[in-house]
Amino acid sequence: MSNYKVGYFVGSLAKGSLNRKLANALVRLAPDEVEMREIAFGDLPLYSYDYDADFPKVARDFKDAIAAVDAVLFVTPEYNRSIPGGLKNAIDWASRPWGQNSFTRKPSGIIGTSPGAIGTAVGQQHLKSILSFCNSPMMNAIEAYIQFTPDLISDDGVVNSESTENFLRDYMSEFSNFIGRVFTVFPRSS
Ligand SMILES: Cc1cc2nc3c(=O)[nH]c(=O)nc-3n(C[C@H](O)[C@H](O)[C@H](O)COP(=O)(O)O)c2cc1C
């Protein structure tokens, strides 16, 4: 029986996404007390507040999926030194209608991979700013900027580097600890 349900967002919609490989590795390496489930957002239309009075089913289901987890984990690439537009659109949906922000008091973590040397560091700073406004308690450390080298992680999440595997296992363990710490301050929301 898991203690914490973690919903993860893969920021990339690409079929061959490196960040999906990373997410698959994190699912493999999560500690036993953490149950990982993906929260997909690719079918959401572009958000407008015109929808606020009557959210479409796909958006209601999306918000329900966030409500059903204890914490959220963003596994995202950096696009043009920020986060991909699809992920920002999903966050905008989740944050509305006004007064029903899905991220309030929902613990979050951010991790990402890129072939570039700084491994999504700038995009993650943007995401921190967004999640801060959305009132999500974020794990500040361990930071995780993963430079993706060829074959680092297989499609199904097998990590071909012992040091990277150990780091990702530690990251998930610390994220679990962080969720527990948040719950000592805020009541569990699900
Ligand atoms: C529109 C676009 C913008 C990008 N901008 C960045 C960037 O700012 N920093 C970076 O490290 N890589 C950048 N890249 C390269 C991505 O890191 C690379 O495509 C990686 O595979 C994206 O992760 P994904 O495969 O999970 O989508 C960009 C790629 C695209 C398609």
Q: Which residues contact 107 (CB under 8 A, 6 or more apart)?
A: 70, 71, 72, 136, 137, 138, 139, 178, 179, 182, 183
Q: How confident is the model at residue 44 (pLDDT cuts 50, 70, 90)?
A: very high
Backbone angles phi, psi at 138, to 5 degrees: -105, 145
Mean local confidence (pLDDT), 13-26: 98
pLDDT per position as a tens digit, 150-189 = 999 999 999 999 999 999 999 999 999 999 999 999 877 5
What's the predicted TM-score (pTM) here? 0.97
Distances (CA, A) of 70 to 27, 74, 85, 113, 160: 16, 14, 25, 24, 30
Which ligand 1 atom lies nearest to the CA of residue 16? 25
User: Is the CB–ligand 1 distance for residue 77 below 6 Å?
Assistant: yes
User: Is the CB–ligand 1 distance for residue 79 below 6 Å?
Assistant: yes
Q: What percent of the chain has pLDDT over 70?
A: 98
DSSP per residue, the chain: --SEEEEEEE----TT-HHHHHHHHHHHHS-TTEEEEE---TTPPPP-GGGTTS--HHHHHHHHHHHTSSEEEEE---BTTB--HHHHHHHHHHT-STT--TTTT--EEEEEEESSTTTTHHHHHHHHHHHHHTT--B--SS--EEE--TTSB-TT--BS-HHHHHHHHHHHHHHHHHHHHHHHHS----
Task: Compute the mean pLDDT over every residue in the chain, rounded to the nearest whole number.
Answer: 96
Residue nearest to atom 19 of ligand 1 (CA): 114
Strands laid side by side in the 108-114 sheet:
34-38, 4-10, 71-75, 108-114, 145-147
CA 114 to ligand 1 center in whole angstroms = 6
Which ligand 1 atom lies nearest to the CA of residue 114? 17
Residue 100 has pLDDT above 90, yes or no: yes
Q: How confident is the model at residue 141 (pLDDT cuts 50, 70, 90)?
A: very high
Which ligand 1 atom lies nearest to the CA of residue 11? 26
Which ligand 1 atom lies nearest to the CA of residue 115? 17
Residue 165 pLDDT: 98
Residue 1 pLDDT: 52
Residue 24 has pLDDT above 70, yes or no: yes
Residue 188 pLDDT: 76
pLDDT per position as a tens digit, 56-76 = 999 999 999 999 999 999 999
User: Is the CB–ligand 1 distance for residue 14 below 6 Å?
Assistant: yes
Residue 155 pLDDT: 98
CA 123 to ligand 1 center in whole angstroms = 10
Burial of 3 (0-12, 13-18, 19+ CB in 10 A): middle
User: Is the CB–ligand 1 distance for residue 12 below 6 Å?
Assistant: yes
Mean local confidence (pLDDT), 10-22: 98
